[in-house]
Amino acid sequence: MASIGNFFHVPPDGWLFPNHGDVADCRRRASEYFAEHNSYEGAEFQIEEFVRQWALRQLLVAYKYPADWIGERIIIEEPVKMGSTEKQADISIKNANRRTFLYVEVKKRGIPAEEFTEAERQLETYLASTHTATIGMVTDGDRVKTIRKKIDPNDFEYIPDLPHFGLEARIRTQLVRELPENLTGGKSTGLRTFNNEYERILFDCHSAARDADGLHADEALDEICKVIYTKIYDERSVTKQAEGTPFRFQTYGASNASEVASNIRVLYEEARNADIDVYSKCLFQNMLSRMNRL
């Protein structure tokens, strides 16, 4: 069972994002419901906000995401661009770069199975349209489905639960640029060089990428090469910075593996754009040089 647990009522006076227009409107409707029924019991079958507020509360209580992320890295009604249209995701959790890595889509209780399935497809569309997001959950307070985007952005699988906040203690060490005492010249990252142990690790990573998504060996190698390409970009960028500058390609500071993955995707996108910019300038200079020779 997912850690989000069973639905319970969060009183409207305790709702998060109280000044948001949609939340304020639903609080008004909840007040009218209470005036008529003298209870909030059953209101979640008419007012979707009850389910969203329950999900928000459980993100903090059950999944341990920090309360100070509310409004900063946990937001509601996040715009999602899908081609020429734009939708709003119910809940978005963002990485340190303020890019979404996790979505939660909610529906009011008691909806038909067809509508719940439609909500799943909507969530998949959000994930496919957002480069940095791979995991999402859809719930109506009774049914809970968690899905993960695979290598193909239009291929998904069910997983047991959302990732909780926090990483293992052994990977909380921050890696920064160092200048070793025995440095004889040039610039250094301070990182260890490759050896046979790293070759084995790369082989294990390739096998994991191949098996996790059922990829062909060549496809898995392509994904591993993208990761290495991104890491090299990060090391070269940090080498140009002052000693003590932290690497961006690392687990330190991330809330969980999903955020680590989203951070790497941001870096990969930055690396590609940087190379495209360099190659475009080189192409322009070559064309200009040829024109000058005419």
pLDDT for residue 291: 57
pLDDT for residue 285: 64
Instruction: Please give the average pLDDT of every successive group of 10 residues along the chain, which has 294 residues.
Output: 93 97 97 97 97 98 97 96 90 94 97 97 95 96 95 88 81 73 55 74 85 82 90 90 88 89 92 80 61 59
DSSP-derived secondary structure letter, 162: P
* Nearest residue to 69 (alpha-carbon basis) of 50, 91, 85, 48: 91
How are strands ordered across the β-sheet holding 135-139? 74-82, 85-94, 100-106, 135-139, 144-149, 156-159
pTM: 0.83
Tokens of 3: 């850690």
pLDDT for residue 253: 82
pLDDT for residue 251: 86
What are the chain's domains?
A: 12-159 (3.90.1570), 169-293 (no CATH)
pLDDT for residue 82: 83
Neighbouring residues of 30: CB distance < 8 A, sequence distance ≥ 6: 12, 40, 43, 47, 49, 50
Residue 65: count other Cβ atoms within 10 Å of its Cβ.
24
Burial class (CB in 10 A: 0-12, 13-18, 19+), 62: middle
pLDDT for residue 178: 80
pLDDT for residue 188: 59
Listing DSSP states for 112-130 in one string gives -HHHHHHHHHHHHHHHHH-
Segments in 130-195 forming alpha helices (H): none
